[in-house]
Amino acid sequence: MSLALLEIKDVKAGYGAAVALQGISLSLRQGERVSLLGANGAGKSSIVNVISGLLPIRSGEVWFQDERIDGRPAHRIVGLGISQVPEGRLIFPKMSVWENLELGATVLDEAEQKSGLLEQVFELFPRLAERRKQMAGTMSGGEQQMLAVGRALMSRPKLILSDEISMGLAPVVVRDIYDTLLRINQEWGVTLLMVEQEAKLALEVADSCHLLESGRIVASGPADEMARSELVRKVYLAED
C-alpha cells in the first residue's frame, strides 16, 4: 500500500479540440491540504473535474486509495469518498437548506445518514441550522457557499475538491469558510484539494501548493516556500 490517498499520473485531458491538461502528475497524502494556483484557463478546474469524473481523460491514470478510478462515471466517484464543492456555488435554489443537505447524503446507507452527520454540519455552520427551512436560493452568497460545502460534507468524504470558493464573495466571508474547511481538515481528517485563484489565500490555507500554467504544473512545493519564490511573488501576489 502506498502512502498516497490520491495519485494522478501523467494525465492528459481536454474539451474537444482544446487541450486542458498536458500531462499532470500529483499526489495527495491522507490529511493533506493542497492548493492549485494559476491563472484562468491554466487547468486548475480541469484537474478537479478529472478526479470527480466529470472530465474524461485521454491518457494517464487516476488512483484513489489504491483503486484506479479514471473512466468511472461521475456519480460513482462520490461513493468512494470524493466530494466536490463545484465552482459557482452550485446549490438547489428552490429547495430548503435541509433538503439540499439531505440530497448530499443519498450515497450513504440509512444508518449512516442518521448517524448525526447533519448535526455535525450544523455545528460547523450554525448559520445553516438557523435557516434549515429557508429556500436555499433566497440566502446570501456566503450562506449559499456554506451550504455548498455542507452539502459536500454530507456524503462523509475522505477527500474534498473545492473549486474557487472565494469567487464573488466578500473577503471576510471567504475567510470564514476557509477557517471551517481547516477545521474539517483537522478535526475530521478530510484531505483537501483546493482550486483557488486568490493566490494569497491559496498559499495561506494549504500545506503545499502546485502552480499551473497552460495545463502543466510549473512549480510545486510547501506553501511557505512557494510564497517566497520569485515567480509566485511577481506574477500571482503582484509584489515588487
Binding residues for other proteins (CB under 8 A): 52, 54, 73-79, 83-84, 86, 90-95, 99, 102-104, 106-107, 151-152, 155
CB of 224 to other proteins, least distance (A): 32
Contact 38, 60 (CB under 8 A): no
Residue with Cβ nearer other proteins (39 or 74): 74
* Alpha-carbon 155 to chain mean position: 14
Q: 27 or 96, CB closer to other proteins? A: 96
SS3 213: strand
Distance CA 157, CA 142 (A): 22
The whole-angstrom separation of Cα 201 and Cα 232 is: 13
Beta carbon nearer to other proteins, 69 or 77: 77
Residue 210 Cβ vs other proteins, minimum distance, rounded to whole Å: 23
5, 159 contact by CB (below 8 A):
yes
What's the closest the beta carbon of residue 155 comes to other proteins, in angstroms?
6
Q: In angstroms, rounded to a whole number, what is the distance separating the alpha carbons of residues 51 and 145?
A: 21
Whichever of 110 and 240 has its CB closer to other proteins, that residue is 110
Q: How far is the CB of 78 from other proteins (least distance, A)?
A: 3
Question: From the CB of residue 133, how many other CB atoms can be counted at a distance below 10 Å?
Answer: 9
Least CB distance to other proteins at residue 206 (A)? 22
Neighbour-count burial of 94, counting CB atoms closer than 10 A to its CB (0-12 exposed, 13-18 middle, 19+ buried)? exposed
Between 131 and 208, CB nearer to other proteins:
131
